[in-house]
Amino acid sequence: MEYVIELIETEELPALSIRKTAAGDHLSQEIEAAYKTITAYLHDLGVTKPGQPYVAYYNTNMYHLDVEIGVVTDQRYPGNDGDINAETIPAGARVSVIHKGAYREMGQRYTAALKWIKNHHYNPTGVVYEFYLNSPENVPESNLLTRIEFLLE
């Protein structure tokens, strides 16, 4: 199957996030809980519409995934005294591919993008962002859209 894989340049983005270690088989529950916590915190700050959700993966150990679960914000907000951190999604070059369908089926996109990166002689940093462009609450699983971005050195 052919995928549209492209080299893009991004700007720095403010975000609020929770960074944690989670087992792959519990990740969806961890993501849901983190989004609820961040959304409630934004509501306390007077923000009624949270930004685009994302997960950044800092490793690939499915038993101890190091992840940053967050939302892009319209401006910089302070973190809280708990788990929520004020973060910045870094600017820079990345390789991007869109996945349409169930989250559990993204593996082929990862494989295709990594092959593209190797064939074009880029060096990934090892950090991968998944930006969720719509929600399973609003569309069928087959229409979920996720932009996967591999950060480059």
Strands 85-89, 13-22: pairing kind: antiparallel
Cβ atoms 88, 12 nearer than 8 A: yes
Neighbours of 129 (CB within 10 A): 20
Note down pLDDT in tens along the chain; length 153 residues.
Answer: 567 999 999 999 999 999 999 999 999 999 999 999 999 999 999 998 889 999 999 999 989 999 999 999 999 999 997 899 999 999 999 999 999 999 999 999 999 999 999 999 999 999 999 999 999 999 999 999 999 999 999
Looking at residue 3, its pLDDT comes to 77
DSSP class per residue in 73-132: -SS-----SSS-EEEEEPPEEEEEEEEES-GGGTHHHHHHHHHHHHHTT--EEEEEEEEE
Q: What is the pLDDT at residue 1?
A: 55
Residue spans of the domains in the chain: they are: 5-152
- What is the C-alpha separation between 150 and 44, in angstroms, rounded? 33
3-state class (DSSP) for residue 56: strand
pLDDT score, position 81: 79
CATH number of 5-152: 3.20.80.10
Phi, psi of 43 (to 5 degrees): -60, -40
CB 79 within 8 A of CB 88: no
